[in-house]
């Protein structure tokens, strides 16, 4: 049976009247979505708008308090019937759902082998499947050793081989570099030509225009609009998301006063994936580090804030050496960080917003009331959508968790900020305010190092160092053109 939506196109999936509550929080309030078969349909909204909650309903991970889901006009299976859901829909999350210690072949057929497993057959079938979907990884490779790009392709192949023709991609580009994003989009286009339907979630609005035909906007748990992408301007899209007219302005800090006094000095630093790097960041200066995933930029930043031990060279703050490979020592020396992975290095999921945001200064904040009041300040300053300072961070949406990480980095009033992908998963409006915070910190005389794949994050920088295979290959002062920076990142300058 084929369902038809209002304008006569067959519907791959349709959800109507969906309401989901978490205690007092209404995450979805009587929303609907209808995705036409063969469409790539974007779902966008500010942090906490309800996107991930809808995904959990559309994948059968959560029963809504009210509402219905239908695939091709047929009611969704019962929640317990996981096999039936796998045939209808799959979601590739930002965080892998594959078992890292198992091989690609084992992951591909997880929960699907009969009782008797023939390993040689499993490997052969996996190899055939990978070839069919043009995924260039070895069936016996451990999933833990794959890149994010390879892992996503394996998960897409797994979904398609289970029979699903509707795939949800939840912020798939957040951890990919430019060329990998283009390869993912090419892959999506060719699967779409074969009849696969996508629901695509991203905070990068230009991606919506590049790869989607239809867009649905949710705001504060409500459906705001569904429209063809081609007829919707970017300002109108942002207005639907934020409820406010007027474009966005990322501060570029061009008028920021600069001093020549170095706060951070990196001298002859070598470590995993980078060699003999020297540079300084002055008071009031924001320096960007750009490069591909293999450039060594993350490893360099992680060595500066003490997560990795250097194999040579030194890091100093205000002329004093900081002991390497020791995060608490770096913190005491005045280096605050937003780490690369908020799930592993950023937050303690069970602790509250107040506790997480104050973690770098906990020894000085002993009174519970003081803790709560600093939590309330963080919620207001960083525009965190939450029920209150006592709410555990595990209850927050991804983007709002990222804002708590930023609050935590700044709580100890560090002299140096090392920020890795500081706006990852953060909506357009919040991005503007987080970058405003970086600008304000620099104006207050702090030194900042911003490592990012996002050009908007790099625009706030006074200069950008481009790394390629662990060495600085180019340096751009403010005012660079996108094309020249991207060419340098890709090693073409």
Ligand X SMILES: Nc1ncnc2c1ncn2[C@@H]1O[C@H](COP(=O)(O)OP(=O)(O)OP(=O)(O)O)[C@@H](O)[C@H]1O
- Binding interface with ligand X (CB under 6 A): 22, 25, 27, 45, 47-53, 385, 395-400, 425, 427
**What does the block give as tokens for 275?**
């060699």
Nearer Cβ to ligand X (165/385): 385
Nearer Cβ to ligand X (22/119): 22
Report the nearest approach of ligand X to the CB of residue 205 (Å).
13
| C-alpha span between 76 and 189 (Å, rounded) | 27
Report the nearest approach of ligand X to the CB of residue 18 (Å).
12
Closest CA to 53 of 141, 145, 168, 224: 168
Report the nearest approach of ligand X to the CB of residue 247 (Å).
20
Report the nearest approach of ligand X to the CB of residue 427 (Å).
6
Nearer Cβ to ligand X (344/367): 344
Report the nearest approach of ligand X to the CB of residue 387 (Å).
7
| C-alpha span between 312 and 471 (Å, rounded) | 15
Nearer Cβ to ligand X (96/280): 96
Closest CA to 427 of 219, 179, 188: 219
Bridge partner list, 463: 287, 477
Q: Which helix (H) or strand (E) holds 492?
A: none
Nearer Cβ to ligand X (172/399): 399
Nearer Cβ to ligand X (45/284): 45
Closest CA to 47 of 382, 417, 459: 382
Under a CB-based contact definition with an 8 Å cutoff, are residues 464 and 287 in contact? yes
Nearer Cβ to ligand X (45/375): 45
Report the nearest approach of ligand X to the CB of residue 110 (Å).
25
Residue length, the chain?
Answer: 493
**Residue 202 DSSP code:** -
| C-alpha span between 140 and 127 (Å, rounded) | 9
Nearer Cβ to ligand X (295/391): 391
**What does the block give as tokens for 379?**
């919620």
Q: Which helix (H) or strand (E) holds 16?
A: strand 10-22
Report the nearest approach of ligand X to the CB of residue 401 (Å).
8
Report the nearest approach of ligand X to the CB of residue 392 (Å).
8
Under a CB-based contact definition with an 8 Å cutoff, are residues 225 and 238 in contact? no
Chain CA centroid to CA 427, Å? 10
Under a CB-based contact definition with an 8 Å cutoff, are residues 278 and 314 in contact? no
**What does the block give as tokens for 462?**
């006074």
């Amino acid at each position: 049976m084929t369902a038809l939506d209002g304008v006569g196109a067959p519907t791959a999936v349709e959800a109507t009247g969906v309401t989901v509550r978490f205690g007092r929080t209404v995450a979805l309030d009587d929303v609907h979505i209808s995705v036409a078969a063969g469409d790539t349909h974007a779902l966008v909204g500010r942090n906490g708008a309800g996107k991930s909650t809808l995904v959990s309903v559309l994948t059968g991970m959560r029963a809504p308090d009210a509402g219905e889901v239908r695939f091709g006009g047929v009611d969704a299976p019962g929640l317990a019937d996981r096999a039936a859901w796998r045939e209808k829909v799959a979601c590739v999350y930002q965080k892998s759902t594959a078992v890292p210690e198992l091989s690609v072949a084992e992951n591909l057929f997880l929960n699907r082998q009969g009782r008797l497993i023939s390993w040689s057959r499993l490997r052969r079938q996996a190899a055939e499947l990978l070839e069919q979907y043009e995924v260039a990884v070895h069936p016996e490779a451990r999933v833990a050793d794959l890149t994010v790009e390879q892992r996503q392709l394996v998960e897409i192949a797994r979904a398609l081989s289970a029979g699903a023709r509707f795939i949800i991609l939840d912020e798939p580009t957040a951890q990919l570099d430019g060329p990998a994003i283009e390869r993912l989009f090419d892959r999506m286009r060719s699967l779409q030509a074969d009849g696969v339907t996508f629901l695509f979630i991203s905070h990068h609005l230009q991606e919506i225009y590049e790869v989607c035909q239809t867009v649905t906007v949710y705001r504060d748990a409500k459906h705001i609009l569904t429209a063809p992408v081609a007829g919707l301007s970017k300002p109108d899209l942002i207005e639907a998301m934020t409820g406010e007219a007027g474009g966005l302005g990322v501060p570029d800090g061009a008028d920021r006063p600069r001093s020549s006094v170095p706060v951070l000095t990196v001298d002859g630093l070598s470590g995993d994936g980078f060699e003999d790097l020297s540079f300084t960041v002055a008071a009031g200066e924001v320096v960007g580090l750009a490069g591909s995933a293999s450039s060594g930029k993350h490893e360099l930043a992680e060595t500066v804030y003490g997560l990795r031990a250097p194999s040579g060279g030194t890091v100093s703050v205000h002329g004093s050496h900081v002991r390497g490979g020791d995060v608490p020592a770096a913190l005491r020396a005045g280096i605050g960080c937003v780490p690369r992975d908020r799930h592993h290095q950023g937050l303690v999921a069970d602790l509250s917003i107040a506790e997480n945001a104050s973690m770098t200064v906990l020894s000085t904040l002993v009174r519970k009331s003081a803790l709560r009041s600093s939590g309330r300040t963080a919620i207001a300053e960083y525009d965190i959508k939450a029920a209150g300072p006592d709410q555990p961070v595990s209850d927050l949406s991804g983007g709002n968790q990222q804002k708590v990480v930023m609050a935590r980095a700044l709580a100890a009033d560090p002299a140096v900020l090392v920020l890795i992908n500081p706006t990852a998963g953060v909506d357009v409006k919040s991005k503007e305010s987080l970058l405003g915070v970086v600008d304000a910190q620099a104006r207050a005389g702090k030194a900042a190092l911003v490592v990012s794949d996002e050009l908007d994050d790099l625009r706030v920088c006074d200069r950008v160092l481009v790394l390629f295979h662990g060495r600085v290959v180019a340096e751009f002062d403010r005012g660079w053109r996108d094309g020249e920076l991207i060419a340098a990142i890709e090693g073409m300058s």
